[in-house]
């Protein structure tokens, strides 16, 4: 199976996920046009919102996925699926709908391939990551503390050769001359190592508590007016352990890249972002294929991969699926 997702981020581009589906459809057309008869059925799957793969893997309950609301409004996934006529009754489970193998073509969403001058990344696995929501309550001063915590998370992650980022920040009451009494922000921490993610979380929890109580950490409070303690709460939203892809799928991609481009045209690479393949890997042999994207930019209208790069990726995908199909015999 070739799979990915057709939807993207609110300010996303035209390649994230979409490339994998279009290439999969082109793969089917090529196989049909050239009368290629595979040993096993070959298809394409569009994993809606990157949740469908989680539901299929039974890592996300169908109820939880259906009840998820839009960012601004009351529409749910279930209500929107029903509205557009896509609320089906086929069991969405690896038990009822097993997959023999899953290959996902995707833009890299990073600068490594472009800097190395390579056309293909043979993806070995995906980094571990955890997502949290941090809630701060108190008028003295919730937003200032949030700024310090976000700054510290970046510093500490860098120290551990990991990553930390914040994508959503909300505050109330939202008035020019009123100090925010409540702030919430998201925290995403990730690393190739599960142990590093656990260690980073442990140290962040310790330091966040100290800063909330007014205790200085690494000079973040230096020169500031002493403040009253603030209430701090953590909520764990998502946990994804480090993923290692199937060696036979990886080998099929590597051999295909060498067949098309020659030796040394591809490099082994790990993914820093989460993908549908993280979920499929739990229940079937899986790997991914990366192509370069300009400047490493993704989740942005400037996201771009050239037609040649997309075509090469699609060729590698098609060959890899056929090679793996033959290997299964």
Q: What are the domain boundaries of the chain?
A: 2-127+242-327, 128-240
Give 137's strand partners.
Answer: 182, 231
Q: What share of the chain is helix, strand, coil (3-state, %, to 5)?
A: 35, 20, 40
- Give me the percent of the chain exceeding a pLDDT of 70: 100
Q: Tell me which H or E stretch contains 254.
A: helix 247-261
| Structure-model confidence comparison of residues 288 and 91, the more confident one | 288
Predicted pLDDT of residue 240: 87
Whether the predicted pLDDT of 88 surpasses 90:
no
Predicted pLDDT of residue 91: 87
Average pLDDT, integer, range 73-100: 93
Whether the predicted pLDDT of 211 surpasses 90:
yes
Predicted pLDDT of residue 9: 83
Average pLDDT, integer, range 190-195: 95
Give pLDDT tens digits for 95-146. 999 999 999 999 999 999 999 999 999 999 999 999 999 999 998 899 999 9
CATH class as words, domain 2-127+242-327: alpha beta
Question: Angle of helix 18-33 relative to helix 307-327, nearest 10 degrees?
Answer: 60
- Give me the percent of the chain exceeding a pLDDT of 90: 86
Contacts of 74 (CB under 8 A, 6+ apart): none
Predicted pLDDT of residue 202: 98
Q: What's the CATH architecture for 128-240?
A: 2-Layer Sandwich (3.30)
pTM for the model stands at: 0.80
Q: 208-243 in b/e burial notation, b at 16+ Cβ within 10 A?
A: beebbeeeebeebbeeeeebeebebeeeeeeebebb
Give pLDDT tens digits for 49-65. 878 999 999 999 999 99
Nearest in space to 123 (alpha carbons), one of 249, 3, 21: 249
Contacts of 29 (CB under 8 A, 6+ apart): none
Predicted pLDDT of residue 54: 94
Predicted pLDDT of residue 228: 82
Predicted pLDDT of residue 64: 93
Predicted pLDDT of residue 129: 94
Predicted pLDDT of residue 220: 92
Dig out the tokens for 187 from the structure: 């925290």
Q: Count CB-CB contacts under 10 A for residue 39.
A: 12
Whether the predicted pLDDT of 329 surpasses 80:
no
Half-sphere exposure of 57 (CA within 13 A, CB side): 21
Give pLDDT tens digits for 231-270. 999 999 989 899 999 999 999 999 999 999 998 889 999 9
Kindly report the backbone phi and psi dihedral angles of residue 116, in degrees, each rounded to the nearest multiple of 5, phi listed first. -85, -10
């Amino acid at each position: 199976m070739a799979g990915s997702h057709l939807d993207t981020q609110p300010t996303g581009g035209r390649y994230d996920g979409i490339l994998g589906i279009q290439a999969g459809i082109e793969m089917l057309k090529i196989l049909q046009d050239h009368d290629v008869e595979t040993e096993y059925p070959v298809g394409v799957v569009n994993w809606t919102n990157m949740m469908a793969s989680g539901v299929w893997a039974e890592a996300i309950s169908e109820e939880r996925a259906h009840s998820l609301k839009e960012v601004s409004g009351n529409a749910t996934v279930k209500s929107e699926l029903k509205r557009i006529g896509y609320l089906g009754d086929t069991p969405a489970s690896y038990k009822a709908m097993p997959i023999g193998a899953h290959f996902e073509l995707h833009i890299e969403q990073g600068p490594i391939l472009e800097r190395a001058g390579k056309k293909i990344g043979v993806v070995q696995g995906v980094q571990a990551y955890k997502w949290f929501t941090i809630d701060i309550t108190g008028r003295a001063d919730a937003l200032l503390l949030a700024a310090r915590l976000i700054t510290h998370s970046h510093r500490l992650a860098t120290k551990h050769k990991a990553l930390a980022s914040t994508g959503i920040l909300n505050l109330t009451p939202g008035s020019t001359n009123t100090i925010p009494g409540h702030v919430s922000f998201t925290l995403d921490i990730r690393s190739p190592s599960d142990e590093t993610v656990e260690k980073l979380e442990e140290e962040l929890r310790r330091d966040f508590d100290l800063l909330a109580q007014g205790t200085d950490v690494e000079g973040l409070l230096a020169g500031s007016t002493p403040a009253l303690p603030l209430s701090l709460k953590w909520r764990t939203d998502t946990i994804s352990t480090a993923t290692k892809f199937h060696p036979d799928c990886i080998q099929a991609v590597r051999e295909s890249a060498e067949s098309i481009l020659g030796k040394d045209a591809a490099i082994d690479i790990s993914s820093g972002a989460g993908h549908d393949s993280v979920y499929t890997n739990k229940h079937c042999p899986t790997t991914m294929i990366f192509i370069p994207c300009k400047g490493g930019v993704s989740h942005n209208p400037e996201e771009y991969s050239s037609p040649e790069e997309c075509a090469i990726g699609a060729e590698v995908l098609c060959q890899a699926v056929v090679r793996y199909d033959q290997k299964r015999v």
